[in-house]
Amino acid sequence: MILKLAYKNILGNGWRSLINVIILSIVLTGMIWMQGLYDGWGRIARRQMIAWQFGSGHYEQVNYDKYDSFTLDKSNAALSPEMEKQVADGKAVPILYSAGVIYPQGRMTPVVIKGIPTQQSILAIPTEYLKIADKSAPVIPVIIGKQMAKSTRLSEGDQFTMRWKDIYGVFNAYDVVIAKVMNTPVPTTDVAQVWMDYDKLNEVKALNNSATLIVLKDKPVNSDLGSDWRYLSTDDSMAGTDAMISAKRVGGYVIFTLLLFLAMVAIFDTQILSIFKRRKEIGTLIALGLTKRQIIRLFTLEGTLYMLLGTVFTGIFGMPLFLYFGIKGYSMPVDVSSYNIAGMSDSIKCYYSPIMIISTFLIVMLVTVFASWLPTARIARMKATDALLGKV
């Protein structure tokens, strides 16, 4: 009976009920869409960084510090025979780092030179362009990214001088030619990076099959590779990106709070007005035998029904929006390629996990129930005789 009364009262409120349902639908749609955007950003960033940089995990030479460029020339170690076998089997790819300087059009630009085997297939870097047909050729082919080409005003076929230092502290310089400008979505494989053949970089640095990083195709059974190396899983490598996305979520939580406050005010005002206008009805119900607790339950149920109807509206009118951004993705309104943030170069496809949708629904439901129940404190203090006379 209480459910039937609540439903009829909602229909009797007319436009006020419709406005409340629309507001709750907007709140639900906005919260689900924004969380789906952040979840989609995290998923695409992880997928891109696995494909272009980290693989299924990697080893770092213990001296390597990505925040200290002075460690580049001393962060290398020779591969063990077991690791050489994995490289030969295509299960691992070694990468050698070196600090360097390039001189395009006479300008000096510091870069990180990265040597990678040309036959590797674990990372998406087009290393086939690094093959050196003639070992005695005076020009070495290299690969740079699109952002690197843009910042240095270089293009495919351009030649320039590149300088580095070997392990004895001797500076060497070679002429290099850009064999390929790759379109990579991961800034750490693009910005201030020059890729060349792994064996050639070992040769010019007076090293023998040494690497700074070893990227793995599959997760290792035993991550211990000796004292010269430390293992980093994909989660470890993604910690910085995950922390940045989590920090961005904080701004989203502020918007969530404002949306929830908007929904709470709408329901609260409606219930306050409803109780004020229905004083005689409340008195009549009490006179007919309904307890005050049942009447409080009636008004609380009305607010809950607003939420359920808002969920239906969200499913009807919000579903096309969710499907569009889940399939087509969300393209940034401005050029964010210079932000050096993984996952933002392509359109971000929203990801709506069932847990996220259910938790969002439950949060809004609890806020709605609370906002519906709060004004009913008046009913508990109301006398039936005063209610029948229209007094508060």
Answer yes or no: are the C-beta atoms of 17 and 10 closer than 8 Å: yes
- Assess whether pLDDT exceeds 90 at residue 214: yes
Cα–Cα distance between 105 and 98 in angstroms, integer? 22
Q: How confident is the model at residue 161 (pLDDT cuts 50, 70, 90)?
A: very high
Max Cα–Cα distance, the chain, nearest Å: 106
Average pLDDT of the chain is 82
Tokens of 200: 């050639």
Of residues 14 and 297, the one with the higher pLDDT is: 297
Assess whether 245 and 138 both reside in one domain: no
**Average pLDDT rounded to a whole number, residues 198-215:** 92
Position of tokens 């129930």? 369
Same domain, yes or no: 186 and 284: no
81 and 227 housed in the same domain = yes
**67 and 212: one domain?**
yes
Binned at pLDDT 50, 70 and 90, residue 341 comes out as low
CA separation for the pair 305, 17 (Å, rounded): 10
Please tell me whether residues 185 and 273 are part of one structural domain: no
**Could you say which of 232, 265, 299 is where a domain stops?**
232
Residues 27 and 64 occupy one common structural domain: no
Q: How many CA atoms lie within 13 A of 189 on its CB side?
A: 24
74-126 confidence digits (pLDDT tens): 899 999 888 889 999 989 999 999 999 999 888 899 999 999 999 998 999 99
Do 149 and 98 share a domain, yes or no? yes
Contact indicator for 306, 17 with CB cutoff of 8 Å = yes
**What is the per-residue burial (b if ≥16 Cβ within 10 Å, else e) of 54-65?**
bbebbbbbeebe
**What is the C-alpha separation between 190 and 149, in angstroms, rounded?**
9
Looking at the 3D structure of the chain, how many domains does it have? 2
Tell me the residue range of the domain where 209 lies: 58-232
First to last CA, the chain: 26
Residues 217 and 131 in one domain: yes
Predicted confidence (pLDDT) at residue 134 exceeds the cutoff of 60: yes
> Which tens digits make up the pLDDT trace of 164-176?
998 888 898 989 9
Q: Is the pLDDT of residue 382 over 70?
A: no
Categorize the per-residue pLDDT at 389 as very low, low, confident or very high, splitting at 50, 70 and 90.
low
Distance CA 184, CA 17 (A): 51
Contacts 24+ apart (CB under 8 A), 315-323: 317/25, 317/29, 318/25, 318/28, 318/29, 318/32, 318/33, 321/29, 321/33, 322/32, 322/33, 322/36, 322/350, 322/352
- How would residue 219 be classed by pLDDT, with cut points 50, 70 and 90? confident
Question: Same domain, yes or no, for 249 and 215?
Answer: no
Pair 193, 341 in one domain: no
Which amino acid is present at 214? I
How much is the average pLDDT of 7-19?
68
Which of the listed residues 190, 207, 232 is the one where a domain comes to its end? 232
Rounded distance, CA 356 to CA 35, Å? Answer: 8
**Which two structure tokens, joined as six digits, stand for 192?**
């201030």
> How would residue 291 be classed by pLDDT, with cut points 50, 70 and 90?
confident
**Same-domain check for residues 343 and 266:** yes
pTM: 0.75
How many CB atoms lie under 10 A from the CB of residue 41? 24
175 and 68 assigned to the same domain: yes
Q: How far apart are CA 192 and CA 187, in angstroms?
A: 9
Q: How far apart are CA 36 and CA 350, in angstroms?
A: 5
Could you say which of 199, 232, 265 is where a domain stops? 232
| Average pLDDT over every residue of 197-202 | 93
